[in-house]
Chain A
Amino acid sequence: DGGITQSPKYLFRKEGQNVTLSCEQNLNHDAMYWYRQDPGQGLRLIYYSQIVNDFQKGDIAEGYSVSREKKESFPLTVTSAQKNPTAFYLCASSTQQGAYGYTFGSGTRLTVV
C-alpha cells in the first residue's frame, strides 16, 4: 500500500540535543511538507520541498532544518536552537499541484525532557 511513514511515533529530547524525525513516502509525490501542530494553534508550516535538492522555509522555520536528497525522503531536524520543540509533528506529501490535497503521515510526538 502506498503511503507516508513517519518515525518514531514518540521521541524524547534532552535540552541542547538535536533530533531528527524521519518521513518516507512511496506515493511518487514530488512535494513534501513538514507541519507542527500545537493545541489551539492548528497546523503551522515549517518547511516544504517541491523537488529534490530544493526546499523553502515556511512560517516557523527557525530552529529547524531539512534535507531532500531523495524524492521519497524528507527528514526534519529539530535543533537546539528551537526553544519550544515539544509538539506533534506531521509530514505530508502531494503531487506538485498541491492543490489536489495532501496525504499525511501519522505524526511524531516530540517531548523535551
Chain B
Amino acid sequence: GAGVSQSPSNKVTEKGKDVELRCDPISGHTALYWYRQSLGQGLEFLIYFQGNSAPDKSGLPSDRFSAERTGGSVSTLTIQRTQQEDSAVYLCASSPPPTGNTIYFGEGSWLTVV
C-alpha cells in the first residue's frame, strides 16, 4: 500500500491479557516510530527504529511494553498484562532517509482495556 498500515484498527481486551499491534511502514522507509495518543495527552514517543541500529526504547513506559522490527520492515508492539491505563491510540509512523525527515503516520490502533 501507499501509506503506513496498522492492524488491528480497534482492539478490546481484558485487563491482564497480552496484545500485539502491527505496523507495516511505507516501502523504502528506514525509520519507524511508535507513539501513543491518549485523550488530552498529545502524542507520547515510545520507540524508534532505524535500519539495523539498536532501537531507542527510551519512551517505553514500563517493562510490559516491548517492540521489535523484523527484517528492517514490519514492526510489532507488544503490551503484556494490559492495564486500563494502557487504553489509547497507538500510532506508527515511518520516515525515509536521511534520518529525521518528515514522518508519515498510520491511522493507528485503538486499544481499549476493560
Are A and B physically bound partners? no
A→B interface (CB under 8 Å): none
B→A interface (CB under 8 Å): none
